[in-house]
Amino acid sequence: MTTQPQHHASRGRRTLRGLTLPVLLLIVWETASHLRLVDPRILPPLEQVARTAIAQITDEDLLYHLAASLVRDIAGFTIGTVAGIVLGTLLGLSRLADRLVAPTFNGVRQIAILAWIPLISIWFGFGEAAKVAFIAAAALIPVVLNTTEGMRSASNQLVEVGQALRFTPTQLVTRLYLPSALPSILTGVHLALIYSWVASVGAEYFMTVGPGIGGLIIAGRERFQMDLVMLGILILGLVGFLINRGASAVEAWLLRWRPH
Amino acid sequence: MIEAGLAYALSSRRAADIVGAWPAWMTRIKRRLRTASGATVALLLPLSLLVLWTVSAALEWLPPQILPAPTDVEHGLAEMWRSGDLLRHTGISLQRVVYGFGIGAIVGLALGIAMGLSRTVEDYVRPLFTAFAQVPTLGWIPLLMLLVGIGEGLKILVIAKAAFVPMTLNSFAGIRGVPPAYGEVAALFRFNRWQLLHKVVLPGAIAPIFTGVRYGLTHAWMALVAVELLASSEGLGYLLVWGRQMFWLDAVMIAMVMIGIVGFGLDKLMAVIERRLQRWRFADGTDAVRS
């Protein structure tokens, strides 16, 4: 609140407070599971989840599944991002391209991305290509939107300087528009990284079974193995978190030249 | 109309070649596009795609299981419209979103306000909330399927979760963003806690809260599609699954377009409400502090 003098609890105290609810939750979970208040198939005790995790890493192919998801993610992300930057640059710099393509693009992107899965899986076959195409589509949209916006935000004075220096159109794009759009493009790429990770899992849920974290979660659900589902979700969240953190760090590093 | 647009596009191309320098032709095009022909240009791409689609269907370039003819889609649409199936599935989906979004938004608003008002609540709840929000909605669905089954409760829960996260984050940020000066003025007028909340803090935070509402609704709609794709026997998402299994791509396409239209409509509706609320804020919000 803004009016009262703000009592900032000390850092240690805040950490303690933050841990209270999660620890309570785990205790309730563990007790409920051991006392059979809840069917242990639905709520397996913590140590069982941990055992599953260790078994999956050492004996089974958890890391292989994770690698499969990540490779797919990176492939789709790369295709979608490159295509997005090209399309976004075109829409941002050419009025005609904008008038021609933007209304259709904006219409099509109203369709929730997951709704594309049936069509893409029929058009691109049931293999790896369909999954990558879907991930690329998910990555494309935020990159196009942010690149377009960034291109338009280039200052007119800079463009005039570029003209006075007789920059060729290519020079204008590479030396002037792209650098000044960079912060915006990076925002789009950051979003694309997050979207494409979720899309990778989505592709594995809804398209044919194959290696991957999403496939692992679905298999766990079908075999009624809650510990496997929980492990999958944990990894899903963890990887998403790491991708987000990594992207923020790279973004900050790439934009370090900007005055603050 | 198409010819006009095409001729127009060609002529502006030529203008670009003659002038050479960029901004000159850009401004020229800008000037021309401000006139009515802008809509023609916008329709050029969809219309040429439609022509290509029709030609490809007529010449059977692709089997109809991969790309049905436009007339098939038209017949499918007429059929689904007449039988009422399309509206029934849309209605079911909309109803699920309304319930799920309603629950998620209210809980999220309450939590966001509580965290915004009290540092103690924030200290206790925020880490758990952050961990919870870290896993995308798509990840929670299989877990919830094991916990609550695949009935109506699952759909409502998933949609509520999707709306809950952005709603909490935005109302929290909104309350924290109210300028301290407002609070000082309120203290001067000896407002009690309730007056402070509903005359100063909430009106001051209404814009970010509404951002939360719009994000929440968009997320709720996407979550609906996800949960209906995975576990449903009715609704637009189910229509997609069913169409794919039957290889009736016309049904798939119709469902997709409907999902786009409803999603767009929901967002536009919220934009209109938001504008109304903003007007009220400017007309009334300043008075509230003064009175």
Residue B91 domain-assigned?
yes
pTM of the complete model: 0.85
CATH code, B204: 1.10.3720.10
Q: What's the pLDDT score for residue B284?
A: 47
Average pLDDT over residues A6-22: 82
User: Both B222 and B276 in a single domain?
Assistant: yes
pLDDT at A249: 94
* pLDDT interval class at B125 (50, 70, 90): very high
Q: How confident is the model at residue B60 (pLDDT cuts 50, 70, 90)?
A: confident
Question: So what's the pLDDT on residue A201?
Answer: 93
Contacts of B49 in chain A (CB under 8 A): 104
Q: Flag if B120 and A9 touch (Cβ within 8 Å).
A: yes
Taking contacts as CB-CB distances below 8 angstroms, the residues of chain B near A198 are 136, 138
pLDDT for B217 equals 95
Between A7, A18, A198, which is nearest B126 by CB?
A18
Report ipTM (2 d.p.).
0.87
Same domain, B108 and B54: no
B84 with B56, same domain: the answer is: no
Tell me the average pLDDT across B171-181.
90
**B74 occurs within a structural domain:** no
Q: Are B257 and A112 in contact (CB under 8 A)?
A: no
Q: Is residue B71, in this structure, part of any structural domain at all?
A: no
Do B210 and B99 belong together in one domain? yes
The helix/strand/coil state of A173 is: helix
Identity of the highest mean pLDDT range in A216-230, B188-202, B254-268: B254-268
Q: Which of A96, A110, A114 sits opposite B226 (nearest CB)?
A: A114
- Mean residue pLDDT across chain A: 89
**Mutation site, B191, B192, B215, B240, interface A, largest A CB count within 10 A:** B240
Angle, CA A74 vertex, CA A68 and CA A76 arms, to 5°: 100
B6 and B23 in contact (C-beta within 8 Å)? no
In this complex, do A198 and B136 lie within 8 Å of one another by their Cβ atoms?
A: yes
Query: Are B85 and B203 members of one domain?
Result: yes
Q: Is residue B244 part of a domain?
A: yes
- Whether residue B103 is found in the same domain as residue B49: no
Count of domains in chain B?
2
Domain enclosing residue B30, as ranges:
2-61
Residue B213 resides in a domain: yes
Which residue does chain B place closest to A109, by CA atoms? B260
- How is residue B59 annotated by DSSP? T
Q: What is the pLDDT of residue A242?
A: 95
- Domain check: are B44 and B151 in the same one? no
Selecting from B23, B183, B263 the residue whose C-beta is nearest the C-beta of A110 gives B263
Q: What is the pLDDT of residue B191?
A: 86
- Smallest CA–CA distance, residue B30 to chain A, in Å, is 7
B185 — contact with chain A (CB < 8 Å)? no
* Contacting residues of A for B22, CB less than 8 Å apart: 169, 172
Q: Are residues B185 and B250 in the same domain?
A: yes
Rg of chain B (C-alpha set): 26
- Considering the domain boundaries, does residue B185 fall inside one? yes
Closest to A229 (Cβ–Cβ): which among B23, B38, B146?
A: B146
Same domain, B14 and B119: no
Residues 47 to 66 of A: which have CB under 8 A from any B CB? none
A21 close to B (CB below 8 A): yes
> B149 is written with which tokens?
């089954």
The number of residues making up chain A comes to 260
pLDDT band for B9, please (50, 70, 90 cuts): very low
Judge if B148 and B236 occupy the same domain: yes
Residue B183 near residue B214, CB atoms below 8 Å:
no
b/e A103-138 (16+ beta carbons within 10 angstroms → b): bebeeebbbbbbbbbbbbbbebeeebebbbbbbbbb
Whether A187 has a pLDDT exceeding 80, the answer reads yes
pLDDT in tens, A27-75: 999 898 888 888 878 888 888 889 989 988 888 888 999 999 999 999 9
Tell if the CB–CB gap between A233 and B182 is shorter than 8 Å.
no
User: Same domain for B39 and B154?
Assistant: no
Question: Which residue ranges form the domains of chain A, and what is each CATH number?
Answer: 52-148+181-254 (1.10.3720.10)
d(C-alpha A258, C-alpha A101), whole Å: 32
Look at residue B66 and tell me if it is in a domain: no
Q: Nearest-CA neighbor of A213 among A222, A204, A224, A221?
A: A204
Q: pLDDT tens, A72-111?
A: 999 999 999 999 999 999 999 988 888 889 999 999 999 9
For residue B165, being part of any structural domain is answered with yes
Q: Are residues B49 and B99 in the same domain?
A: no
Give chain B positions within 8 Å (CB) of A229.
142-143, 146
Alpha helices in chain B (DSSP H): 2-19, 22-33, 37-58, 70-83, 85-117, 119-134, 137-148, 152-176, 180-188, 193-195, 202-230, 236-246, 249-280, 286-290
Cβ under 8 Å to A: B residues 60-79: 65-66
3-state DSSP call for residue A3?
coil
